[in-house]
Amino acid sequence: MRPYVFVNVAMSADGKISTKERRQVKISGKNDFLRVDRIKAESDAVMVGIGTVLADNPSLTVKSQQLRDERKREGKDEDPVRVVIDSHARTPPDADILRKGTGTRIIAVSAAAPQERVEHLKKVANVVVAGSESVDLPEVLAILYQHGVRRLMVEGGGTLIWSLISQGLVDAMYTYIGSMVIGGRDAPTPADGEGFLHESDFIRLQLSEAEPMDDGLLVRWDVRIIR
Ligand SMILES: NC(=O)C1=CN([C@@H]2O[C@H](COP(=O)(O)OP(=O)(O)OC[C@H]3O[C@@H](n4cnc5c(N)ncnc54)[C@H](O)[C@@H]3O)[C@@H](O)[C@H]2O)C=CC1
Ligand SMILES: Nc1nc(O)c(N)c(N[C@@H]2O[C@H](COP(=O)(O)O)[C@@H](O)[C@H]2O)n1
């Protein structure tokens, strides 16, 4: 069993999620940031890849005090469980995701992670070992499910989203399209990784919602299960 998994990502009009230097940029507007905060507060856990932790140093906390209070009233931690997919245990022990906010942090590493770094991380987070070289995502999702996570939000980046979506582990995707062009053939996109070669392999989506937001557009897609 695995949680319901949805991706939230903000991209430019030309389909980039940051610059070619992988520098964090503001793509969403005020209303979209409020929406992201709300769907994060409604989730049991939020996941990012180590590339995002190293590039953006996100805290992934719920920002609105009202939403934090609501979670508390429901008997939950103010922040969802925060999960980093990090094969080689590269998460800096002083990363904001570990320093800021409340609640459980899980770092998922592979068996190839250097033991010394794993021991350091064990002092500041729950470390889960899954997979031999890179992290085994189905196994991590099963572990999260066993720990009560039913709704998982994935905030990026492109490498992690590709892995999840290409393995059939994503149920829905929110894409905010911002009103700018970032450009750059090497700038990350919502799904990087290897990419499919054959049309028959493409992951098919069904449009479920499209709404103008700030000066861009919010699109919600459901992943179509084709058997
Ligand atoms: N605009 C937006 O909404 C967002 C933009 N970003 C941007 O994305 C960029 C970071 O993305 P990426 O470099 O692609 O890194 P990422 O955050 O997708 O992390 C990928 C890394 O995770 C590790 N990993 C371990 N097991 C894995 C597995 N099974 N599958 C995939 N990865 C696995 C690998 O070390 C891999 O390189 C940054 O530039 C950041 O600013 C990140 C999040 C959201
Ligand atoms: N929704 C959205 N819009 C943008 O314009 C963005 N740049 C991002 N980036 C994601 O948000 C994370 C920041 O988290 P904290 O504010 O530090 O909690 C960042 O790491 C990306 O995942 N998202």
For residue range 45-60, list pLDDT tens digits in order. Answer: 999 999 999 999 999 9
pLDDT at site 224: 86
- 200 DSSP 8-state letter: G
For residue range 152-162, list pLDDT tens digits in order. Answer: 999 999 999 99
The question of ipTM being above 0.85 is answered as yes
Which atom of ligand 1 sits closest to the CA of residue 136?
Answer: 29
Mean local confidence (pLDDT), 132-144: 98
Which atom of ligand 2 sits closest to the CA of residue 26?
Answer: 5
* Structural domains in the chain, sorted by start: 4-223 (3.40.430.10)
Q: What size, in residues, is the chain?
A: 227
Asked whether the beta carbons of 195 and 166 are under 8 A apart, the reply is no
CA nearest 168: which of 221, 223, 130, 87?
223
Distance 199 CA to ligand 2 centre (A): 31
Q: Edge-to-edge strands of the sheet including 45-49? A: 126-129, 105-109, 81-85, 45-49, 151-154, 4-11, 172-177, 216-223, 205-213
- Alpha-carbon distance 77 to 29, whole Å? 27
CA nearest 84: which of 120, 44, 127, 124?
127
Token match 């490498």: residue? 159
Give SS3 for 8: strand
